[in-house]
Amino acid sequence: MKPFPLNNPKAASIRHLNTAVAVQHMENACKQTALRYHIITCSNVHNKSQLFELLATSLAFPDYFGHNWDALYDVLCDDHWMGEHGIVLHFRSIAAFQRQDAHDWSMLYETLEDAIDYWRSLNLPFWVFFDHVF
């Protein structure tokens, strides 16, 4: 399996993991970097409010997070939250939310893509992995 170029900001993107081997490969690659790695388990997320609450808790967002799409983008692009080396977000069990709320799934995806672009412009890697195995 081809290695994930996690330290390369230009390669940073959203990736979908469809096998347990791919998930393990990504997790092993994360252990070999200085990137902050966060697992976000979405098995009990059925709507946008639950998603925002889970993200705020899982990622220790600052108190000013406003629980809307613009606020999500703002906090994802906050250099105090980001750290010095970059970040990897690993979403587990997101399929139910994706099926139940196509509009908010699309908004999440777009917001994450915009955050990736922002950090890429500053030469910092921001990766997102959607795990369709767990």
pLDDT tens, residue by residue, 88-123: 999 999 888 888 889 999 999 999 999 999 999 999
Distance CA 74, CA 65 (A): 8
Phi, psi of 42 (to 5 degrees): -105, 20
pTM value is 0.93
pLDDT tens, residue by residue, 30-54: 999 999 999 999 999 999 999 999 9
Bridge partner list, 131 = 17, 92
Find the mean pLDDT for residues 12-26. Answer: 94
pLDDT score of 101: 87
Q: Pick from 35, 32, 38: which is nearest to 9 by CA?
A: 35
For residue 2, how many C-alpha atoms fall within 13 Å in the half-sphere facing its CB?
2
* pLDDT at 80 > cutoff 90: no
Q: 26-131, superfamily in CATH?
A: Barstar-like (3.30.370.10)
What confidence tier does 134 reach under pLDDT thresholds 50, 70, 90?
low
What are the sequence ranges of the domains in the chain? 26-131
DSSP state of 38: E
What confidence tier does 2 reach under pLDDT thresholds 50, 70, 90?
confident
Distance CA 22, CA 25 (A): 5
In percent, how much of the chain has pLDDT > 70? Answer: 99
